[in-house]
Amino acid sequence: MRVVGRHSGPVRIAAAVALVLAIGGCAAVGLGAKPPPTFDLTAANAFPRHGGGGRGQLLVSEPTVLAILDSERIVVRPAKGELGYLSGAQWSDRLPKLIQARIVQSFENANRLRAVGRPGERLTADFDLVTDIRAFGVALADNGSFAEVEISAKVVVDKSGRIIAGRVFRATVPAPSSDGPAAAAALDEAFHRVIIEMVLWAVRLV
């Protein structure tokens, strides 16, 4: 697994723990039931100080995804070929929408394109970034749990629909446990590794 740039894993883990503690203290809703702990993904910002950038404008579409990942639930893989949801934990939004927002913010943080946005934002795009979430969850194994994130990406010419490049990005990060805070923090770290590589790859093409 190749790591690009430096990452503030401990800071994000602390933030994830603080978030779940804060949510746990919120008032109960409904008939005395508390909402499940809610976690967020964070945009990447640890980009190399120097590097090439594109001059184009980029639209980031909402990623395509299998039905099990198209929700707020956190996915776990207890065994090969078996998928389920982590009990008592959720993302702050539908996973595809959340990932789309954080990809846009990561491109903005990198500050290497003329403009980046989402469809419907009146951006006259030169290129589209089309992604598919292949894996985004915590795998349980005999030698320990780990977060796995795999996203395929294509850079497409907006006017013609011609694909100029495609690549699959993947990262795994050990998870101390499969409970909510540890799983969310490990997934956030793996997501950062994938998105930093994706941004640096795409800006050379746009």
Of 31, 6, 50, 38, nearest to 189 (Cα)? 6
Q: For position 50, what pLDDT does the model report?
A: 67
pTM higher than 0.85, yes or no? no
What are the per-10-residue average pLDDT scores of the chain (206 residues)?
39 37 37 78 88 82 96 91 89 98 96 91 91 96 90 95 97 91 95 96 93
Q: For position 60, what pLDDT does the model report?
A: 97
CB of 134 closer than 8 Å to CB of 77: no
Q: For position 58, what pLDDT does the model report?
A: 95
pLDDT digits (tens, 9 = 90+) for 134-162: 999 999 887 889 999 999 999 999 999 99
Residue 196 CA to residue 45 CA, distance in Å, equals 8
Of 49, 64, 53, 58, nearest to 5 (Cα)? 49
Class of domain 54-203: alpha beta
Largest CA distance in the chain: 55
Residue 201 CA to residue 7 CA, distance in Å, equals 18
Q: Give the burial string for 171-192 (b: 16+ CB within 10 Å, else e).
A: bbbebeebbbbbbbbbbbbbbb
pLDDT digits (tens, 9 = 90+) for 114-134: 999 999 888 888 999 999 999
Characterize the bridge pairing of strands 163-175 and 145-157.
antiparallel
Phi and psi torsions of 72, nearest 5°: -85, -10
Q: For position 70, what pLDDT does the model report?
A: 97
Characterize the bridge pairing of strands 82-91 and 38-39.
parallel
Cross-strand bridge partners of residue 151: 133, 169
Q: Which two tokens stand for residue 200?
A: 């640096």
Q: For position 133, what pLDDT does the model report?
A: 98
Q: For position 82, what pLDDT does the model report?
A: 87
Q: For position 52, what pLDDT does the model report?
A: 65
